[in-house]
Structure 1
Amino acid sequence: MKYIIFDIDGTLTNTTEIDDLCYTQAIAETFGFSDFNTNYGHYENTTDSGILNQLSLERRNRPCTVTEIENFIDCFLHLLERAYEKQAHYFHEIPKAGRIISSLVRNEDLRIGLATGGWKQSALFKLQCAGIDIEGCSAASFAQDAFARRDIIGHTISKMNKRHNTTPDLADIIYVGDGNWDYQATLQLGIKFIGIDNKKLAHLQDITKISDYDELEQHIGLLTLTS
């Protein structure tokens, strides 16, 4: 049995731009922070929870409280909902993403999971807006589960292991993502990586990349057969 685990923003949904805009606005509205680095790939943990934690420690010398996080998520989700009402074109799927998920979940030799650095509420909202059905996925983990992306992916793997009562070899676990932080997380975990071909991964020449989801099933077979 093989696991295929997907990131969401930039991988399944074409929502990175609007997500960053609403996330930045929510930070300003909820915490009153200004003049902070909005190039979120430069934070220690490029996840919604990791970024908030780092900003709070740097600005206030303490982590966020549970109530503060809940208020932030409410604000962020409200901003996303308002953006969708006005600019629904920012919430499309990556072409063929929904179709590939539907195809993979029907494969008896595969189990499909999700692991995203976004909050559960915002992630599910974006998937719904993009029309991607994740009902057949085995497990999903979100920013609430950990600060570090490797730990979020690891959380999904653990949930899948428990659900299916199995522990696949690391060579039989593939993470599909669109950022260098995704690739680094897979190196730390010792699992395989398939990247969405974009400028964020352009500097990585020796990794498997896809420019069309029609290529994914072929690469899944090649990666697992040659491991």
Structure 2
Amino acid sequence: MNLFLLDIDGTLVDSDEIDQHCLTLAIEDVLGISTDGNWSQYQKVTDSGIIDEILLKNNVSESRSIIHRKVEARYLERIREYLNNNPSEMHEIKGAKKFIDQMQDREDTHIAIATGAWESAAKLKLQAVGIDASKITFTSSSDAMSRTEIMALAAFRAKQDTGETFDRRVFFGDGEWNKNASQELGYDFVAVGTGVKHHTQIPNFTHYQSVFSQLSL
């Protein structure tokens, strides 16, 4: 039995620029702190990890859990505002929805989402591009702060959901942090797009068969 774990931003949804724009605005709205949106400089490249590091660096004394909730709520408002004003600017990564549908039909494969986004924002972005996540094992930055914790928890939940033991765990992602976490956990990694180089790489999900051959799936 194979477990395919999927990131969202830049992997299933072409949302990196929108995500960066809305999160930096939300941080400034709530905390009055300007950020450049270069998330790769943070130790934990997840919504909750980024906020936590900003709070520590700026010696913010207010309750961290309260601030997390405030920033998340404002971030959701910013995304909704952006989508209302630019309804055609968020798209699925080519072939993503069809890939999920086809993998869900396979008896030897289970799909799980393991995203560094907060659950509320992640599901809003999936909904915006027509991807139904209601029957998919789901783990996010609302559950854990680091990528490795999120991915390990996704695998644990997938085992609970299916009762299966997985022979292969394959993570599909677009960032260096995805690749590093996959290596740490011993998961196979497939790079989606051009954001990170790897020996197993696809430009989008219309080309997934080529990487299946490389991984002997």
TM-score interval, smaller chain: over 0.9
TM-score (norm 1): 0.90
Whole-Å separation in 1 of the counterparts to 2:64 and 2:216 = 43
Structure 2 residue 182 is matched with structure 1 residue 190? no
Query: Do the aligned partners of 2:7 and 2:115 also contact (CA within 8 Å) in 1?
Result: yes
1:1-12 to structure 2, matched below 5 A, reads 1-12=1-12
Per the alignment, residue 69 of structure 2 pairs with 70
Whole-Å separation in 1 of the counterparts to 2:74 and 2:133 = 25
Per the alignment, residue 130 of structure 1 pairs with 129
Whole-Å separation in 1 of the counterparts to 2:77 and 2:189 = 33
Q: Which residues of structure 1 form unaligned runs of 5+?
A: none
User: For residues 23 and 136 of structure 1, do their structure 2 counterparts lie closer, same or farther at Cα, with a shift above 3 Å needed?
Assistant: same
Query: Secondary structure in 1 aligned to 2:112?
Result: strand
Per the alignment, residue 23 of structure 1 pairs with 23
Per the alignment, residue 47 of structure 1 pairs with 46
RMSD (Å), alpha carbons: 1.6
Query: Do the aligned partners of 1:105 and 1:136 also contact (CA within 8 Å) in 2?
Result: no
Query: Do the aligned partners of 1:26 and 1:79 also contact (CA within 8 Å) in 2?
Result: yes
Q: Number of residues paired by the alignment?
A: 217
Structure 2 residue 166 is matched with structure 1 residue 174? no
Per the alignment, residue 199 of structure 2 pairs with 207
Whole-Å separation in 2 of the counterparts to 1:7 and 1:96 = 15
Per the alignment, residue 154 of structure 1 pairs with 152
Query: Do the aligned partners of 2:11 and 2:93 also contact (CA within 8 Å) in 1?
Result: yes
Query: Secondary structure in 2 aligned to 1:88?
Result: coil
The 10-residue stretch of structure 1 (126-135 or 116-125) with the greater mean CA deviation from structure 2: 126-135
Per the alignment, residue 220 of structure 1 pairs with 212
Whole-Å separation in 2 of the counterparts to 1:61 and 1:30 = 12
Identity %: 29
Structure 2 residue 37 is matched with structure 1 residue 38? yes
Considering fraction of residues, name the structure with more helix.
1
Whole-Å separation in 2 of the counterparts to 1:64 and 1:207 = 43
Whole-Å separation in 2 of the counterparts to 1:155 and 1:216 = 25
TM-superposed CA distance for 1:32, in Å, is 1.3
Query: Do the aligned partners of 1:57 and 1:63 also contact (CA within 8 Å) in 2?
Result: no
Per the alignment, residue 112 of structure 1 pairs with 111
Structure 1 stretches of 4+ with a deviation exceeding 3 A read 61-64
Whole-Å separation in 2 of the counterparts to 1:213 and 1:14 = 12
Query: Do the aligned partners of 1:56 and 1:63 also contact (CA within 8 Å) in 2?
Result: no
User: For residues 61 and 212 of structure 1, do their structure 2 counterparts lie closer, same or farther at Cα, with a shift above 3 Å needed?
Assistant: closer
The 10-residue stretch of structure 1 (63-72 or 36-45) with the greater mean CA deviation from structure 2: 63-72
User: For residues 10 and 87 of structure 1, do their structure 2 counterparts lie closer, same or farther at Cα, with a shift above 3 Å needed?
Assistant: same
User: For residues 61 and 79 of structure 1, do their structure 2 counterparts lie closer, same or farther at Cα, with a shift above 3 Å needed?
Assistant: closer
TM-superposed CA distance for 1:136, in Å, is 3.7
Q: Which residues of structure 2 form unaligned runs of 5+?
A: none
Per the alignment, residue 161 of structure 2 pairs with 163
